[in-house]
Chains A and B, each alone.
Chain A
Amino acid sequence: MFENMLLGLQALADPALLLAVLIGVVGGVIIGALPGLTSTMGVALLIPVTFSLPPQVGLAMLGGIYCASTYSGAISAILLNIPGTSASVATMLDGHPMAKNGEPGRAISLATFASCFGGLVSIVALLFLAPQLAEFSLRFGSPEYFLLAVFGITVIASMSAGAMEKGLIAGALGLILSTVGTHPLTGTMRFTGGVPTLFDGIPLVVSLIGLYSIPEVIDLIDRAKSTHTGAAGVDKTSPFATLRELARQKFNLFRSSLIGIIVGIIPGVGCSVGGFLAYDAAKKGSNNPEKFGNGAAEGLVASETGNNAVTGGTLIPLLTLGIPGNPVTAVLLGGIMIHGLRPGPELFTTNADVTYGFIFSLFLSNLLFVPVGLLLARYGLRIVQVPAGILAPLILSLAVIGAYSLRSSVDDIWIMLAIGALGWGMAALAVPRAPLVLGLVLGTLAEGELARSLALVRGDLGAFGMQLVTRPVALVILILCVSAIIHGIIQHRRDSKMLE
């Protein structure tokens, strides 16, 4: 394992990889700080940019965007009380009051260093836990992989809190869309309507660009004439003065990191939940709980450490088992597969240089977003105030060239537009889009492994069913699937009661 880690460390000497991390971090910080632009959209938009790059360089860029955008949502949350990304919702609770109290510089510095700490701890966990899980996944055959895909799909229930039926329908639609094109074993064409562009299926990246960028641009156009006024200014507090303050919160930092990592490992929970749970734990453990909500440093630190610690945690099931824990990692999984890699043990053996290079590049990303974020924060108000009337056309033109560049096909722009219309329709009808993404990503795996499993038992459904309950690993995953569904139903009922 350590030899493989050394291989990964060597990758850091590649100037192209360092440049890719820098570009990813700068892009991620800007995307995260701009309200309306999500981490998922940032990763989806830049996947086409990574096509012609070597895998470790391309993945380092995507990892940089993921880590940096998760952090930088805090900038607009603190300065404008608008979360740049959903991850920073809990950060607003104390970050914005602190800024209003005349300490926006202190708030941003605390958020930056706390995010860096949470991110780094979670990458250490990824580095040492992931290989063990990967070795375990060697025991997996087609039935287990099929069940794993099903387990990933059960996450839909928790991704659609308060709208479970809608989430399940969206998930089913995503799975059906993933079947467009050639059947993995028989070669039969399905749902193509004779259109040659669809013979290879609906390109995942094109779908993601359409699904996330078009509805958000429509929303931006809608708000084009509104401007943000009365935003707080940035004070002159030295960022490094807050390091001593952070050193006094060691327990809060480690507790929040641990909460974030655990939340990240559980698929479907997400960064915002990590931030909220860490904030809640900090408040319960604080000697001054009454200060929470009025600019308490403990609350801000807990939220930012917790939500950034989720990033490394989500990558553990993603890299070892191919289970994306949230929409960003679902898109990231697409990016990994596009580079010809498949999550599982091979990532840590055959492709160890790429995988460990990627993990070490995440360390670098977490360190690099500190200077980039602090520098950006100085000009933060100007950037977060880019008028929607400028931002919307720029995003659309980037979406068009991004969709085109995948296969150098103008037809892909039309597909992007059609999926964008679907995404807009879903947003208008309050249907969660994340389940559709999960369906699109996991559908190919689920159908392929199901076809292989059935082929092995010559299409005998009874024999296939017996395999699921007699193979120990398959049985464990089956139990996990059933418990995830039951948990989803209980959570749905609880949410419904709360709404009532």
Chain B
Amino acid sequence: MTTRTRDLIFAAIALALAVAIAITAFGYPVASSYFPRTLAVLMGLLAAFFGLRTLLAPTDDAAPMSPLNISALIAAFGGIAAYVVALKLVGYEGATFLFLFLLMVWLGAVGWLKALILAVAFTALLNVIFFVMLGVPRPDALLF
């Protein structure tokens, strides 16, 4: 992907988003929506202007970009999604320990024993800070 393609993708997404927001905002009473209505129109105009400017710019300006690392993306988003599901099933401590241990082992920065110790220690630390010291209510879980 080049910087030109990237900017065109951005302009298209921003324009689509602005149109969707405008359609929704114009469905609300005027007194409650002049602010988002104005902003949506402004955002759409800016996105269209930016897209046109990028299209009309000389193509030799486009520089190649480094490819996206999909595995890092899946690890972060998939990891948190699985963590939240586990949170509701096995409770905070179990889910946090599993999340930390598995992610550390998968990333390979430390061996399984060191990962085990770090995961237990950090889970205990977070538990003490948030639930014991700060009195945050523990999330409800199905099993524990």
| A interface list, Cβ under 8 A from B | 49, 51-52, 165-166, 168-169, 172-173, 175-176, 179, 183, 185-186, 188, 190-191, 214, 217-219, 221-222, 224-225, 387-390, 392-394, 396-398, 400-401, 404-405, 408, 410, 413-414, 417, 420-421, 424-425, 428-431, 446-447, 450-451, 459
**Chain A to chain B contacts (Cβ below 8 Å), 7 pairs:** A176-B36, A222-B72, A224-B107, A225-B107, A405-B134, A429-B7, A430-B10
Cα-based distance from A218 to B74 in the complex (angstroms): 9
Complex alpha-carbon distance, A429 and B5, angstroms: 10
A401 to chain B: which residues have CB within 8 Å? 92, 96, 126, 130, 136
In the bound complex, do residue B104 and residue A176 qualify as a contact, i.e. CB atoms below 8 Å apart? no
Which B residues form the contact surface with A (CB < 8 A)?
3, 6-7, 9-10, 13-14, 17, 21, 24-25, 28-29, 31-33, 35-36, 39-40, 42-43, 46-47, 49-50, 53, 68-69, 71-73, 75-77, 79-81, 83-84, 87-88, 92, 96, 99-100, 103-104, 107-110, 118, 122-123, 126, 129-130, 134-137, 139
A417 to B84, CA, bound (A): 10
* Docked-complex contact B107 and A396, CB < 8 angstroms: no
Measured between C-beta atoms, what is the minimum distance from A163 to chain B in Å? 9
Q: Are B31 and A166 in contact (CB under 8 A)?
A: no
Contact, CB under 8 Å: B6 / A393 = no
- Across the interface, do A222 and B6 meet the contact criterion of CB distance under 8 Å? no
Pick from B7, B80, B130 the residue with the most CB of A within 10 Å: B80
Q: How far is the CA of A404 from the CA of B100 in the complex (A)?
A: 17
Q: Are A414 and B84 in contact (CB under 8 A)?
A: yes
Contact B31 A186 (CB under 8 A): yes
Other A-B contacts than A165-B49, A410-B87, 8 sampled, CB-CB below 8 A, are A183-B31, A183-B33, A188-B29, A190-B32, A191-B21, A191-B24, A389-B104, A420-B76
Inside 8 A of A49's CB, which chain B residues have their CB?
129-130, 134
B136, A397: Cβ atoms closer than 8 Å: no
Contact B24 A397 (CB under 8 A): no
Supposing A392-B103, A405-B134 touch, asked if A430 and B6 sit within 8 A by C-beta, the answer is yes
Q: Are B135 and A52 in contact (CB under 8 A)?
A: yes
Q: Are B134 and A417 in contact (CB under 8 A)?
A: no
CB of B22, distance to nearest CB on chain A (Å): 10
Interface pair B87/A176, CB less than 8 Å apart: no
Task: State A172–B35 Cα separation when bound (angstroms).
Answer: 11
For B49, list chain A residues within 8 Å (CB): 165
Chain A contact residues, majority secondary structure = helix
- B122 with A447: CB separation less than 8 A: no
- The answer on a CB contact under 8 Å between A417 and B9 is no
A413 to B83 Cα, complex, angstroms: 10
A186 to B, closest residue via Cβ? B32
Residues of A close to B13: CB separation below 8 A: 425, 429
Q: A175-B39, A176-B21, A186-B32 are in contact. Are A390 and B118 (CB under 8 A)?
A: yes
Q: How far is the CA of A429 from the CA of B122 in the complex (A)?
A: 34
Give the distance to chain A from B120, nearest Cβ to Cβ, in Å: 13
Evaluate whether A408 and B79 lie within 8 angstroms (CB atoms) in the complex, with A190-B33, A387-B109, A393-B104 already known: no
Number of A-B contacts (CB under 8 A): 171
Partner of A390, one of B96, B110, B136: B110
Q: Note all chain B residues with C-beta closer than 8 A to A219.
A: 72
User: Is A394's CB under 8 angstroms from B100's CB?
Assistant: yes
Taking a contact as CB atoms closer than 8 A, the residue among B35, B79, B99 that contacts A446 in the complex is: B35
Contacts of A387 in B (CB 8 A): 109-110
Residues of chain A lying within 8 A (CB to CB) of residue B134: 49, 51-52, 405
* Most chain B C-beta atoms within 10 Å of own C-beta, residue among A186, A218, A430: A218
A190-B28, A388-B109, A408-B139 are contacts. A396–B118 as well, Cβ < 8 Å? no
What is the minimal beta-carbon distance from B96 to any residue of chain A, in angstroms? 6
In the complex, what's the smallest C-beta–C-beta distance from B3 to chain A, in angstroms?
8
Name the contact of A397 in the complex, choosing from B39, B81, B88, B122 (C-beta under 8 A): B122
Q: How far is the CA of A69 from the CA of B130 in the complex (A)?
A: 23
Q: Are A168 and B46 closer than 8 Å at their CB atoms?
A: yes
- A19–B56 CA distance with the chains assembled, in angstroms: 58
Contact A429 B84, beta carbon cutoff 8 Å: no
The CA of A413 and the CA of B79, in the complex, are separated in Å by 12
The 4 closest A-B pairs by CB, nearest first: A389-B109, A389-B107, A188-B32, A387-B109
Q: How far is the CB of A73 from chain B (nearest CB, A)?
A: 23
A428 x B68 contact (CB < 8 A): yes
Of A51, A168, A421, A446, most B-chain CB atoms within 10 Å: A168
With A190-B36, A405-B136, A410-B87 already in contact, the answer to whether A397 and B107 are too (CB < 8 A) is no
Do residues A393 and B50 form an inter-chain contact, with CB atoms below 8 A? Answer: no
Contact residues in A for B99 (Cβ distance below 8 Å): 393, 396-397
**Residue B107 contacts which of A185, A392, A400, A446 (CB distance < 8 angstroms)?**
A392
Smallest Cβ distance from B86 to chain A, in angstroms? 11
Whether the Cβ atoms of A183 and B32 lie closer than 8 Å is yes
User: A166-B10, A188-B28 in contact; A396/B79 too (CB < 8 A)?
Assistant: yes
Docked-complex contact B109 and A165, CB < 8 angstroms? no
Complex: A404 Cα to B22 Cα, angstroms: 31
Question: Cα distance A421–B76 when bound, in Å?
Answer: 10
Give the contacting residue for B108; candidates A175, A214, A224, A397; CB below 8 A: A224
Chain A residue numbers with a CB within 8 Å of B81 are 417
A187 to chain B, nearest CB (A): 8
CB-based contact B39/A176 at 8 Å: yes
Chain A residue at minimum C-beta to C-beta distance from B51: A165
Residue on A with the closest CB to B43? A172
